Amino acid sequence: MRVAAKHRGDWGPDLAAWEGDVERRLLFGQGVIEVARLGRGEPILMVGGLAGGWKLLAPLARLLARRHEVILYGLRGDRGPSTNSAPETIGDHARDLAFLIDRLGLERPALFGVSFGGAVALEYAAEHPGRLGSLTLLGVEARYRETLGARIARRVLERYPLPKDNAFVNQFFHLLHGGPPVSAALAEFLVERCWDTDQGVMARRLQALASFDVADRLDRIDARTLVIAGLKDVVVAPARQRDLARSIPDARFVCLPEAGHVGFLTHRSDVARLAYRFLRARSLVESGPGFDGV
């Protein structure tokens, strides 16, 4: 990955190149995907967002890998646009996830989904009860509500080739921080990783989200669940994420006051601590009264 020389000094060790194993696997007729693994212990399988691929989750994965084996994987499209012209759905991505879990031989893994990946994780949890040990979600709600801005973004991504140094477009990525970026290096890391994803793939994923709705199936989710929101999330309002937690039978909600939509990146130490505490507890009661807080 490329970061301007003037910013390299403020990276921090967890933004460095990936030091774990990366393998390539044939996914269910959808081409080859990357599967990255790091650490030892009970496995956490992470599902990435609309753009950025698994590498955008790598900084958080490094922290989680201090106590767990962390498994990241590429969604269909991460290695380039599919030749399949049929519309994709969140259900398609959830079926890919089910196939991967079976292929990796994971029994009731901890599943951690962020943003678009949170929708995929929700769909999987609702359709495969009894298959997860726990579910952690960040930046997602039960029913996607396409805003005018999202609709315009999808149309632009579908129709107009955009340069990766377009300041107007990249300003959108900066909004995901929920405020001024905590560092120039982190801001550049986010933009560069997001542009690793083809803009046509981003558009298809936005189209898939437009029909996403798991609200009437949340009662099927039997894994204990943690929903983490950023108070400054401008993509999915924290109140709607709290509503999601209230609608899942065995769920807790936590809000990070200074985080935005990419809190998994900007506030990764806080997110890792919450995840450690949640995963270490054998029940939500043991998680303590700090949960459900805003």
What does the buried/exposed string (b/e) look like for 196-206 if buried means 16 or more CB atoms within 10 Å of the residue's CB? bbbbebbbbbb
Contact 177, 262 (CB under 8 A): yes
> How many other CB atoms are there within 10 angstroms of residue 174's CB atom?
16
pLDDT confidence of residue 10 = 41
Contact 233, 178 (CB under 8 A): yes
In the numeric block, the tokens 């204990």 are attached to 224
- Beta-carbon contacts of residue 32 (< 8 Å; ≥ 6 apart): 24, 25, 26, 79
Structure-token pair, residue 211? 């029909």
pLDDT confidence of residue 24 = 80
Query: Domains of the chain: which residue ranges?
Result: 18-287
pLDDT confidence of residue 146 = 62
Read off the DSSP letter of residue 257. T
Give average pLDDT by consecutive 10-residue segment, the chain, 294 residues: 40 65 74 90 96 94 96 89 72 94 95 97 97 97 72 54 60 73 84 86 89 96 97 93 96 96 95 95 52 47
To the question of domain 18-287 being in CATH 3.40.50.1820, the answer is yes
- Taking alpha carbons only, the member of 279, 276, 248, 284 closest to residue 121 is 248
d(C-alpha 141, C-alpha 126), whole Å: 14
102-to-27, 179, 197, 205 alpha-carbon distances in Å = 11, 40, 26, 24
Radius of gyration of the chain (CA): 18
d(C-alpha 28, C-alpha 69), whole Å: 24
Structure-token pair, residue 293? 């807080």
> How many other CB atoms are there within 10 angstroms of residue 284's CB atom?
17
pLDDT confidence of residue 55 = 94
pLDDT confidence of residue 11 = 43
Alpha helix ranges (H) inside 85-198: 90-104, 116-127, 148-159, 167-175, 184-194
End-to-end C-alpha distance for the chain, whole angstroms:
36
Structure-token pair, residue 215? 């609200």
292-to-112, 126, 180, 244, 246 alpha-carbon distances in Å = 18, 22, 27, 12, 9
